[in-house]
Amino acid sequence: MAVSGSSAGSEPKLLSGGNPQIPKGDGDAPVQAYIAAMPGWKRDAGRQLDALVERIVPDVRKAVKWNSPLYGVEGQGFFLGVHCFTRYIKISFFRGAALDPQPPVGSKDPNARYVHLQEGDPVDQPQLADWIRQAAAIPSWQPNRAPA
């Protein structure tokens, strides 16, 4: 299934669960391509989340890896990831167990915690903003990098 909103005739495909398949890349452009390819109500939620992160972390580092947008701080790693599922958007706080209060959804990884955004559910914007602010302030997850 193809999604509109991409450039040059190459439309992102939706993987199972409705997650956009976006080539990996660093910077804002691949993240914006992912958001543009998010299906239905998730697109607007993705735009709002992206804008919230940018307001709270003005020098945020962005990338898409493993078909998921990542947000980080240079030298500290990525603190937040986004992934679309059929019925919700998963916001991953890679060091969410260190946040106070902890985000509501646990993980197999004892450090990670999640927030699931579902269509029509009210979002506690102040709490989400506080988690983003806290998460950006602590060293977080750094994906393995290939040797130079």
Is residue 18 predicted with pLDDT exceeding 90? no
| C-alpha span between 103 and 128 (Å, rounded) | 9
Contacts of 131 (CB under 8 A, 6+ apart): 93, 96, 99, 103, 115
CA nearest neighbour of 75 among 139, 143, 146: 139
Q: Which amino acid is at 38?
A: M
Model pTM? 0.86
**Which region among 61-70, 86-95, 117-126 has the lowest average model confidence (pLDDT)?**
117-126
**12, 92, 121, 133, 140 from 56: Cα distances, Å:** 29, 17, 23, 6, 17
Q: What is the pLDDT of residues 115-134, one digit of tens each?
A: 999 999 888 999 999 999 99
Domains of the chain: 13-136 (3.90.1150.200)
